[in-house]
Chains A and B, each alone.
Chain A
Amino acid sequence: MKEFSYERPESLDEAIRVLAASGSDVEILAGGTDLVIAMRDRYREPTVVVDLKRIAEFYPSLVWDGDTVTLSATATMTEVVDDEGINRHFPALAEAAVVVGSVQIRNRATLLGNICNGSPAADTAPPLLVYDAIVVVAGPAGIRRVAIDDFIVGPGRTNLQDGEIAIALELTVPSRPLGSAYERMTRRRGTDLASVTLCAAVDDAGITRVAFGSVGPRAWLRVDETGVLADPDAPAEARAAVFEGIFADASPSVKSLRASPDYRRAMLRVLGARAVGRARGRLAEVRGVS
């Protein structure tokens, strides 16, 4: 690992000042499960590393306020998985967080880091897109809020500007009853990166949201307002046609070692059908108890 200077700010103000003084050759350290590997393999060689874990404002990492949960930059996958409210209101996010890496990785890796790292295969991107998460960004000019769909840009890239830090994710419980589910395809059980990721949500107005990743430069969100996917009795041809439109932009890399483009495209439909089916089932449960 190349030498760097290590900064450990204790407040958000201090962190912003440190970033401003550090130039553009700076890396932000939260869980470190991607960054430490990148630094050791020398494809990231920062001169300054800013560790966020002593910033007082980030604790507690997960806070519910009414219908909104705020997950700070230090909220780990394990904290997401263990939170009762997340499991009840955002089950697809819990399903995505629990398959990231291993116990050891989930104890360290952060939810926001998964997004900021910018991997097209990030497990938590599809559910965060489906649930319309907001990314809270702090910088010299103050705080701004960015829709997750605008925050995610491409491989390794986000909407973050120099001098800014993503400080939290906000999720608000949908006003309409919603059923949602996450599916992924990997080569094996256990620690593996996903070849296809997909999240679906069906609401009681018949609108289905589908977000999918690992088949292009970023995860995409698509919405079916025809009611076809939400209808369990829709003809198979109609459903296939809607999926065709939803997955039209999928452009899996031919260079990836994990799966061929043809296989990924074929599996998108399989995972899409599975996730929508489970989401419909969950919507029925939600309606049953309300």
Chain B
Amino acid sequence: MSETIHIETTINGRDRAFEVAANLTLLDVLRDQLGLTGSKECCVVGECGACTVIMDGIPMNSCLMLAVEIDGRDVITVEGLATDGHLNALQQAFLDLSAPQCGFCIPGQLMSAHALLQRNSDPTIDDVNEALGGNLCRCAGYLQITEAVMVAAKAGKE
């Protein structure tokens, strides 16, 4: 029998309490149990970053964590960036600069970029490249993605 554990957590600003199986990753639970399918499953070994979420302000690969590890923590997924149906500045910049091509990596790129801008509102291009180094884009749209983060940073300052 799979052990289930009761956890209490905050996801995208909403307090939630539910049971999780001990042997499921956070990514599995977000997608299959909570219906938050923005976080993507891709390499499943922590190389591609498509599953990136932010826990207590820190970006992490949700495929490398057990779901039970978010007990008592604050988690933001890509679904938590927009408010009341309005994209945030970062999402808007991605759209304006056509950063998404196929779009599959974009949730992870957004989460890494969001975490960067939360702790550094005035990043250099090198800062952006380093912060997004764990997010692969197989369409190779890196230039537009980096530009979008820089534009969003600038917009945030004005």
Contacts and interface: CB of A to CB of B under 8 A. Distances in A.
A107 B25 contact: no
A177 interface: no
Q: Please give me the 10 A-B residue pairs with the lowest Cβ-Cβ distance, nearest first.
A: A102-B134, A6-B22, A1-B23, A3-B2, A104-B61, A104-B134, A107-B58, A36-B64, A191-B47, A5-B3
A258 interface: no
B5 A104 contact: no
A105 interface: yes
B1 interface: yes
A29 interface: yes
Interface string A6-45: 1010000000000000000000010011001101100000
A102 B24 CA distance: 23
Contacts of A190: 133-134
6 contacts: A3-B2, A3-B23, A4-B3, A36-B25, A102-B134, A191-B134
Interface string A138-167: 000000000000000000000000000000
Interface of A: 1-6, 8, 29, 32-33, 36-37, 39-40, 49, 51, 53, 78, 101-105, 107-108, 190-191
A179 to B, nearest CB: 26
Nearest to B115: A103
A105 B23 contact: no
B22 A101 contact: no
Contacts of A33: 46, 61, 64
A51 B73 CA distance: 15
B68 interface: yes
Contacts of B69: 32, 51, 53
Nearest to B116: A103
Contacts of A105: 46, 61, 64, 134
Given A33-B46, A102-B49, A191-B133, A3 B64 contact: no
A32 to B, nearest CB: 6
A32 B134 contact: no
A108 B64 contact: yes
A3 B58 CA distance: 28
Given A51-B66, A103-B133, A105-B61, 7 more contacts: A3-B1, A32-B66, A32-B69, A37-B44, A103-B112, A104-B49, A107-B58
Contact of A108 (B22, B65, B130): B65
B59 A107 contact: yes
B24 A1 contact: yes
A190 B65 CA distance: 21
B60 interface: yes
Nearest to A1: B23
Interface string B59-88: 111011110110000000000000000000
A92 B64 CA distance: 27
B52 interface: yes
A39 B44 CA distance: 12
